[in-house]
Structure 1
Amino acid sequence: MSSSFRLVGVLHLPPLPGAVNYAGTPVREIAARAVEDALALQRAGFTHVMVQDASDMPQAVRVDAPTVAALSVVGAAVTNSVYLPVGVVVGHNDGPSAVAIAHAVGARFVRVKVLTGVSVGPTGWIEGCAHDVAAVRRRIGADVEVWADVHEATSLALASTPGWAAREARDFGRADVLVVTRDSGVPDALTDIAELRELVPDVPFVVGGRVSLATIDATVAGADGAILGSAIKRSSAPDARVDPEVAARFGAALPTGTP
């Protein structure tokens, strides 16, 4: 485990302009609630915040201009309101847009679910976007970290092992952080991380989901971070708000002295 454990709280936004299910909520209102939830996470002891268009359904692999504009407004509001590093995840796999938004609003990292390789999901084929991500970073001078999933949980990777996926994401995709999620639970994700550290040393590994209050201590001991979404929310709705009391219980699990 890293001495600086990354406890990342995800802000699952309501449907945004550009989404098929957008219900007309003004972007300024979406931004205001995102700021409130980000501040709640900061007070709870989280170390990072991530904004995501998680409620846009059915979700596009790559988004278009209205979604980019809305996420930029929301992201800017959040980065201007908290001192925590802010991350961005866009669409099912829109790494290039995430990099552009993050650079524009002063966010520090992006999550890319299929950086390398090929997966199949509800939208069909999802191809790695490592070249497009690298091209955008280079073109606009974006100094943002890329957090890449190793076989992300909402699609099925084709013809690759976790070891291959981790190496390619790091060596070919130039990922800065690797994200591991297992539908079977956190213990299996931690087992994978222990094995992957032998294959891909000197890169942080974070658990990308399924972490609960029952498994947070093991996650802190066995990984370099955890990304928490539904576990810190008031309900199971896709755009549920952060529950400050639950978030504080997760924050209390961090080692003393964690930034």
Structure 2
Amino acid sequence: MQLISDRPAHAIKDIFGRDKALIGMIHCPAFPGAPRYKGQPLAEIYDACLRDAEALIANGMHGLVIENHGDIPFLKPEDITCETAAFMAVATDRIKRAFGVPVGVNVLANAPIPAIAIAAAGGAEFIRVNEWANAYIANEGFIEGRAGEALRFRARLRQDGIRIFADSHVKHGAHAIVADRSVAELTRDLAFFDADGVIATGQRTGDAANPEEIRTIRDATHMPLLVGSGVNEANIGPILSLTNGVIVASSLKEGGVWWNPVDPARVRSFVAAAAPHLES
């Protein structure tokens, strides 16, 4: 493995106090300003987020990621306006105060600067960024990595403790435009641009990551590795044998559908299946 950055390689241990972490996803309902928002009071949106958080944490998950997945169709980063950050900061703060577990923020699509602001305001420990370096063609169009801008913004806020977890070969897109660089090289670019952890995914929300691609990403970098889509009770053992943890969403929802509430029974069953594989 080629070392390409002097960043430390223990972000999971630092944040979660353990070598392998189970992280649940809070898919926030649509916020005001998004097409799917139906005019309900904001308290209903925050309460839905808190209920999902409680179902995840009370049944054994180690942390959470808060994401504006209800805001479909997503905007490009430069078009995301201030209300999204404001609403997500409130949701993050309420969840952090209620449960006290490690929390991350993901602002779709690919908006690390609002995510850092939300994390700083809400007390989150990390952000997820789908494209940290390079560029790709996504559902939203041409998306560029914004590592340089985001790290300078983090420095201005004096929030260097907020860690960056970045996807490699991110879902819902075609990468590197001319496809002349390998997944291993794209992964090394994340380390070179000072990410703290790398995330492997499938092709779209709910799709499992390819085991061979997980191995390729793991072998390309010294950073801790998570799998961020398609994780379920059946594959959690093999995935944890290759990684430092998982971010889980759809398989823990009622009916296994991302827009439904979290199902506590599914969480308990998932955590039980993961438990034998959580020791390094």
Q: Normalising by structure 1, report the TM-score.
A: 0.92
Aligned to 2:248: 228
Deviations 1:207-248 (A, max 9, x none): 110112110111121211111111110145553211001011
1:138 aligns with 2:155: yes
Unaligned runs of 5+ in 2: 1-11
1:150 to 153, 168, 174: 168
**Aligned-pair CA distance for 1:90:** 0.4
Which residue among 208, 231, 248 is the counterpart of 1:211?
Answer: 231
Task: Please say if 1:182 is aligned against 2:202.
Answer: yes
Q: Which residue of 2 aligns with 1:168?
A: 189
What is aligned with 1:52? 67
Alignment match, 1:28: 43
1:91 CA displacement: 1.5
Matched letter for residue 171 of structure 2: A
Q: Is contact 1:11–1:38 with CA below 8 Å preserved after alignment?
A: yes
Same amino acid, percent of matched pairs? 29
- Structure 1 residue 14 and structure 2 residue 29: aligned? yes
SS in 2 for 1:41: helix
Task: Give the letter aligned to residue 146 of structure 1.
Answer: I
User: What secondary structure does 2:154 align onto?
Assistant: helix
Summarize the Cα distance change of 1:227–1:256 in structure 2 as closer, same or farther, 3 Å threshold. Answer: closer
SS of aligned partner of 2:105: strand
* 3-state DSSP of counterpart to 2:69: coil
4+ residue runs over 6 A deviation: none
Alignment partner for residue 212 of structure 2, among 172, 182, 191?
A: 191
Count of residues in correspondence between the two structures: 255
Give me the whole-angstrom Cα distance separating, in 2, the residues matched to 1:164 and 1:151. Answer: 10
Whether contact under 8 Å (2:20, 2:278) holds in the other structure is no
Write the deviation string for residues 178-200 of structure 1: whole angstroms up to 9, x where unpaired.
00113396472x32232333321
Aligned in 2, Cα 1:157/1:77: closer, same or farther, shift over 3 Å? Answer: same
Please say if 1:254 is aligned against 2:275: yes
Deviations 1:53-94 (A, max 9, x none): 101121112221111111111111100111210111002100
Partner Cα separation in structure 2 for residue 215 and residue 39 of structure 1? 24
Which one of 80, 103, 110 corresponds to residue 93 of structure 1?
A: 110
When the two structures are superposed, what TM-score results if normalisation uses the length of structure 2? 0.85
Higher deviation after alignment, 237-246 or 162-171:
237-246
Q: Is the 8 A contact 1:90 1:98 kept in 2?
A: yes
CA RMSD in angstroms, aligned pairs only: 2.0
Which deviates more, 89-98 or 34-43? 34-43
Q: Structure 1: state its 5+ residue gaps.
A: none
